Amino acid sequence: IFDVLETTAPGKGGEIQLTDAMQVLAADDSIAGGVYGVIFRGRRYDTGDRLDYIKAIIQLASDRDDLGADLKPWIKEFASKLD
């Protein structure tokens, strides 16, 4: 994938998109032996988007046994002070 990424033009947002390089690999099995996938049914986080990144951190931290109990009350207090 890295060889293909080196020659991949920037896409959305001026960023090089991993999915564009994967399409190249999927179209030609001789490049890297093909592309395999899996159906993912879990939560998806777009950490390339700043707001989604923050949401992911908050959600994952609140789910943790070592952080959630302290974080959740703080989030509630913080949210209650928002306009």
pLDDT in tens, 12-27: 789 899 989 999 999 9
pLDDT of residue 43: 92
Helix axis angle, 50-63 to 68-80, nearest 10°: 130
Burial of 29 (0-12, 13-18, 19+ CB in 10 A): exposed
pLDDT in tens, 52-81: 999 999 999 999 999 999 999 999 999 999
d(CA 75, CA 63) in angstroms, rounded, equals 13
Q: Are 20 and 31 in contact (CB under 8 A)?
A: no
pLDDT of residue 76: 97
Domain locations in the chain as residue ranges: 2-32, 50-80
pLDDT of residue 30: 86
Q: Are 16 and 5 in contact (CB under 8 A)?
A: yes
